[in-house]
Amino acid sequence: MSGFQLSLGLTLVLLAALMGLGLSRQLGVRGGPPRLAHHVLYALICLGTLGTGTLALLGGRVWWPYVVLLALLLAMSRTRPGRPAHWRLATVIALLYLGAAWWSQA
């Protein structure tokens, strides 16, 4: 397994955890992890996306989708949590991330 694949896989796992945590907060599940956990996961995903894009570039793979994803991730701070724009952008990012991962592996 290459460093690129490891970085991509780990970032996708973190993204799935973030989406699950965000959904549980959206649905009002009580007793879940604090909001800080959501922010820490978000920061790790941003770093993972930057790392994955860098490894893609260094490995001669398609790198530009990770730049777009990082820009979209950073745009999340412009949306208010709990509002439709926040979860819609999060869903678009997750779908684009899956598409970029599939394309990078093809």
> Which pLDDT does position 26 carry in this prediction?
80
Which residues of the chain are under the pLDDT cut of 70? 106
Q: What is the pLDDT of residue 58?
A: 95
The total number of structural domains that make up the chain = 1
- Residues 48-70 as b/e (b if ≥16 CB within 10 A, e otherwise) read bbbbbbebbeeeebebebbeebb
Residue 104: its pLDDT value, please?
82
Domain of 56?
3-105
Hey, how many other C-beta atoms are within 10 angstroms of the C-beta on 11? 23
Report CA Rg, the chain. Answer: 14
pLDDT at 84: 87
In this predicted structure, what is the pLDDT of residue 106?
65
